[in-house]
């Protein structure tokens, strides 16, 4: 990856190797699927106005630990208030997170990423150009992807990050590398904003 940098005419640009772009799109797409599975399709809705406004979602917290982290309770000490708050806000929050993730994937596609065939390691790199709104969507989507990986890897603090990185399990070590790489992508994006 060539880090994000400012363009003279405005916006930010970065270049990803084809495999990196596919990995980023795949991980982001997995978060989208998880969020969409949570939102679900309601067979009947008692309040049509609430549905139009994006309210009327579930009142119980998700069972999946990743979704618990992405969609936390607003009131940890009051289950009833937390459920009511969730019922009126979760659907909108989920939709916003999905839109951010889709914006990230969309800018990769706009930069030349294609799906369907196996990625060719020697394929053309993917150049991403972001305007101000896309930068914010990327920052939020990258945060969601990193939070998801952190939950799956059991990372809650810096010590956990170091322990996971030293794991003897090759799959965990590989995911740790991806977690660190995503942090680098996010870091270069933030640095380019200054």
Alpha-carbon distance 74 to 57, whole Å? 15
Query: Which residue's entry shows tokens 């797409």?
Result: 29
pLDDT bin (cut points 50, 70, 90) of residue 58 is confident
Hey, how many other C-beta atoms are within 10 angstroms of the C-beta on 175? 17
pLDDT at residue 170 tops 60: yes
pLDDT of residue 94: 93
Measured CA to CA in angstroms, residue 40 lies from 8, 37, 70 at distances of: 43, 5, 16
The helix (run of H) or strand (run of E) holding residue 5 is strand 2-6
The mean per-residue pLDDT over the stretch 63-84 comes to 93
pLDDT of residue 45: 45
What residues have CB less than 8 Å from 80, skipping those under 6 apart?
none
pLDDT of residue 123: 78
Alpha-carbon distance 184 to 194, whole Å? 16
pLDDT tens, residue by residue, 136-169: 999 999 999 999 999 999 999 999 999 999 999 9
pLDDT of residue 42: 46
**Rg of the chain over CA atoms, in angstroms?**
18
Q: Closest by alpha carbon to 125, among 7, 15, 27, 23?
A: 15
pLDDT of residue 46: 47
pLDDT of residue 118: 57
Angle at 131 (CA atoms; ends 123, 97), nearest 5 degrees: 85
The mean per-residue pLDDT over the stretch 57-71 comes to 90
pLDDT of residue 57: 75
């Amino acid at each position: 990856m060539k880090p994000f940098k400012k363009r003279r005419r405005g916006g930010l640009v970065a270049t990803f190797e084809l495999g990196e772009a596919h990995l980023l799109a795949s991980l982001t797409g997995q978060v989208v699927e998880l969020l969409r599975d949570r939102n679900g399709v309601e067979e009947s809705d008692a309040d049509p106005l609430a549905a139009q406004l994006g309210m009327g979602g579930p009142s119980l917290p998700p069972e999946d630990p990743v979704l618990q982290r992405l969609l936390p309770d607003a009131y940890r000490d009051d289950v009833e208030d937390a459920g009511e708050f969730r019922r009126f806000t979760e659907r909108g929050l989920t939709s916003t997170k999905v839109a951010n993730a889709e914006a990230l994937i969309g800018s990769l596609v706009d930069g030349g990423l294609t799906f369907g065939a196996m990625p060719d390691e020697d394929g053309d790199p993917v150049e991403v150009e972001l305007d101000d709104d896309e930068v914010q969507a990327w920052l939020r989507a990258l945060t969601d992807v990193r939070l998801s990986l952190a939950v799956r890897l059991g990372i809650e603090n810096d010590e956990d990050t170091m322990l996971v990185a030293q794991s003897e399990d090759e799959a965990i070590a590989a995911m740790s590398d991806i977690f660190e790489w995503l942090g680098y992508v996010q870091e270069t994006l933030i640095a380019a904003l200054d």
